[in-house]
Structure 1
Amino acid sequence: MQELFVDIYAKGLLGTARTTPFGEGMVIWTVHGHMFAAYTTGGEGLSLRIGSDLMAQMLVGQKRAVTSAYLKGTGWVLFPWNTPPTELRDWIGRSYRLVLSDRNAGAP
């Protein structure tokens, strides 16, 4: 159910694309070709870019998120699927805007 929520919300953001470059079980959401969200079908949650390792550590310390298994130490965390939809939506939007602003600023 949450996977569908993510897909519907992310699809509505300008310039986004849903891709499966690692196979159908791994969904990557990008904005203008840059990843801002990822999940594994049937997995434990949604990985989002938070922007700083400090913010990521804070969210993990508060038990609102866990360290992303594949993106450790890079400002990414995994929000479990039991995260309230409104909070998940807010973090998706923040991740999207962060990646979009990095892209516009010329970051790799």
Structure 2
Amino acid sequence: MDRAGVNAICAGFPGADVSDPWGGGHDAWKVGGKMFACIGAMGDGVSVKTDSIETAQLVIEAGHGIKAPYFHRSWVRLPWGMVEDAEVEERLRTSYALIRAGLTKKAQAALAPFTP
């Protein structure tokens, strides 16, 4: 997986949009104004949200990710080539679903349906 692949997947999620909030070439994917995936300026992987600190730690211990710099401990960085493309896509879908579920009911209702 690479930046283009991640961006193609994220662009398909209902209501998802990308911005570069810090400048310098970041791809911060958001839904309802809340970030669910981020590719840093170095472009060496994508950071995603997990459902808990424990899940993030399990991903790291399994060798499928690393600590996501500058993010809460429930986030992990998936470096390019460390895991299969299917797992990256699944983690993107999960991260999107987690963030979407945290939006207000009104914001969620304004989005097209999504099946994780």
TM-score by length of 2: 0.83
CA distance in 1, matches of 2:22, 2:90: 26
List alignment gaps of at least 5 residues for structure 2: 107-116
2:17–2:29 contact (8 Å) kept in structure 1 = yes
State the distance in 2 between where 1:103 and 1:72 align: 18
Any conservation in 2 of the 1:68–1:77 contact (CA below 8 Å)?
yes
Q: Select the structure with the greater relative contact order (CA < 8 A; seq sep ≥ 6).
A: 2
Q: Which runs of 4+ in 1 moved over 6 A?
A: none
Q: Could you say what the CA RMSD is over the residues aligned between the two structures, in angstroms? A: 1.6
How many residues end up aligned between the 2 structures?
105
Give the Cα–Cα distance (whole angstroms) in 2 for the partners of residues 77 and 49 of structure 1.
Answer: 7
Shift of 1:26: 1.2
TM-score for both structures, normalised by structure 1? 0.89
User: Can you give the 5+ residue segments of structure 1 that lack an aligned partner in the other structure?
Assistant: none
Partner of residue 26, structure 1: 26
Q: Does 1:44 align with 2:51?
A: no
Q: How far, CA to CA, are the matches of 2:4 and 2:43 in structure 1?
A: 13
Query: Which residue identity lines up with residue 81 of structure 1 in the other structure?
Result: W
In percent, how many aligned pairs have the same letter? 27
TM-superposition CA deviations, 1:47-102 (whole Å, max 9, x none): 000020000011111111100011142x1000111121111100000000000011
Give 1:24 deviation, angstroms: 4.0
Partner of 2:98: 98
Deviation at 1:43, TM superposition (A): 2.6
Alignment of 1:78 with 2:77, yes or no, is: yes
